[in-house]
Structure 1
Amino acid sequence: MPELTGEQTVQAADRVLHDVGTAWMIHDDTRRRAEEHGYGKLQPFYFAGRGGVLGDVDAAVVVAAFGWWNPSYVRLMWERGLAVAGARESAHRYAQACAAWAEDHLAGFGHADRLSELAERVVDAAEESALPLFAGWRAEPRAEGGVARMLQLVHVLREWRGAVHLVATTAAGLGPLEAILTNEGPQQARFFGWRDELPDCSHLGDRHVRAQETTDRLVAAAYERALTPAERAEFVDLVGALGEKVL
């Protein structure tokens, strides 16, 4: 069996994990479940559900934990979501939506238990300091098994990478809007709720490079702690198979 370093694992797996996590969060089925729960639209469910693990906090705490989003947009959607259900109940409903999506779309994926086993070891080995959203989702009860447990752990891994990257962009001297514009550009900034004229951040590109390098280094260290070189290669293969099924 081939062997991989932690850094090679990051390069091969993290984008797929991110995109698989995005797939269920923005899917029409998740939008439908948001409507069935009374949230009206996907966005209040997203903010109240994803952020609900933080507890009944002011929207400023959610802004700080999510990063990159326009603060006024976060406040609007968080408060709309909490008007439907409290933070903890919204998080519970969001986890249920994740599990339901897995059962609907990943049935028959034969590697779920093994991928869950490896992913769980990485999740448990990760450092949670300064990563409240990741810590909150890691502390949530996990689905009993199968594809529901696997997708939940993929979600937690996605939260981990995102939270580490938020720390890294801040350390590199990038503000929230600057971090978006030096990475995914103006279209993503609009998606994240920024409506005013967007600044030219092309001169900050080197800071984004440093942030990515810091993120990769910190994430790779957990892969090194949690898995053997052969297990890291197996993990990458299984993540790739999941990506082929979902993306």
Structure 2
Amino acid sequence: MISDSIPQIASRFQQVGNPVHLLCYFAPEADQEFTSAGLESGHMGYFAGRAAALGRASAAAVAATFYNFNPALIARHLPRAWDLASPERVIEARLTAVDRALRRVLGDEVVKSPEVAEAAGLARAAAEACSPEGRPLYAAHAGLPWPQEPHMVLWHAITLLREHRGDGHVAALVGHGLGAVAALITDVATGRSLMGAAQVRAHRDWSEQDWDTEVAALTEAGVLDASGRLTEAGALLRSRIEETTDVAAAAPYRALGAERAERLIELCAPLRDAVDASGDLPSNG
């Protein structure tokens, strides 16, 4: 029996799909392949790997679409990365890294299983039902060729669904008046962030002054209390942002149908568990 609404299903799929997608950034194979392609180790691989589908994108364009990174950090890596490795070469490196990572984390038996093939078919059907309007990262990645092997089809489809949701989430943040640093601070304050505050601030390259200034503004606005926790109003704000994001992300799951979408979640949950158990992803601690 299907009890969740389609937007709730969209939210639940994000929880099982996103860790699988994130291997392309945090698995050791990612840094290995990006550096083999000519990029510098670290942030450059993340920015170039995610932005390569946009072509030789400028730092300003990437900062706008990624939303919550310090633009100065991005400018240290782009467009210089494109002189070290073409976008096409970076895309190739990313796919190779994901293939290697999935085979290591899941094992060849799971990679070749009928369950992964079934999940790939369902995820692709959902991803192909997404609309590109107002969703630049989704549209760019949707323009890439589909991989051939089922586990890579599944990863690519998960990536499309993730970027489709992410573009909608950025729109929700803008609509609710949360800028880059405020979005990060309030996300960490929910307790659901993949990283803790110090990790997030360092990874996005915001200074302590940037962070503290925004904390003070959010406290004055009644979003945070004196201890840095969300107030009732702040929790309501984050809840509305997530609800708006879920509604905006619902179309592909509505097209798939609730029963098939639930099956996709069921099939992806063990893959998420394997990724979590691998230790590749950062933890909130």
What TM-score do the two structures reach when normalised by structure 2? 0.79
- C-alpha separation between the residues in 1 aligned to 2:172 and 2:92? 29
Deviation digits for residues 127-182 of structure 1, max 9, x if unmatched?
Answer: 22121111111111111022122122222222222221111111111111111111
Instruction: Answer yes or no: is the 8 Å Cα contact 2:33–2:93 preserved in 1.
Output: no
Instruction: Answer yes or no: is the 8 Å Cα contact 1:123–1:156 preserved in 2.
Output: yes
Instruction: Answer yes or no: is the 8 Å Cα contact 2:165–2:248 preserved in 1.
Output: no
Structure 1 segments (4+ residues) deviating >6 Å:
none
Cross-structure match for 1:6:
6
Q: Which piece of structure 1 moves more, 116-125 or 180-189?
A: 180-189
Report deviation, 1:196: 4.1
User: What is the correspondence of 1:91-110 to structure 2 with a 5 Å cutoff?
Assistant: 91-106=91-106, 107-109=108-110, 110=113
Q: Which amino acid aligns with 2:129?
A: A
Cross-structure match for 2:259:
230
Instruction: Answer yes or no: is the 8 Å Cα contact 1:115–1:239 preserved in 2.
Output: yes
Cross-structure match for 2:185:
181
Report deviation, 1:34: 2.1
What TM-score do the two structures reach when normalised by structure 1? 0.90
Structure 1 residue 113 corresponds to structure 2 residue 117: yes
Identity of matched residues, %? 23
Distance 1:36 1:57, change over 3 A: closer
Deviation digits for residues 176-212 of structure 1, max 9, x if unmatched?
Answer: 1111111125331332111241121243424333211
Structure 1 residue 156 corresponds to structure 2 residue 160: yes
Aligned residue-pair number:
246
Q: Which piece of structure 1 moves more, 121-130 or 97-106?
A: 97-106
Report deviation, 1:240: 1.0
Gaps of 5+ in 2: 190-196, 224-233, 277-285
Q: Which amino acid aligns with 1:48?
A: A
Q: Which piece of structure 1 moves more, 121-130 or 76-85?
A: 76-85
Cross-structure match for 2:226:
none
Q: Which amino acid aligns with 2:137?
A: L
Cross-structure match for 2:46:
46
Report deviation, 1:102: 2.4
3-state SS, counterpart of residue 182 of structure 1? helix
- C-alpha separation between the residues in 1 aligned to 2:240 and 2:271? 30
Instruction: Answer yes or no: is the 8 Å Cα contact 1:65–1:131 preserved in 2.
Output: no
Q: Rg bigger for which structure?
A: 2
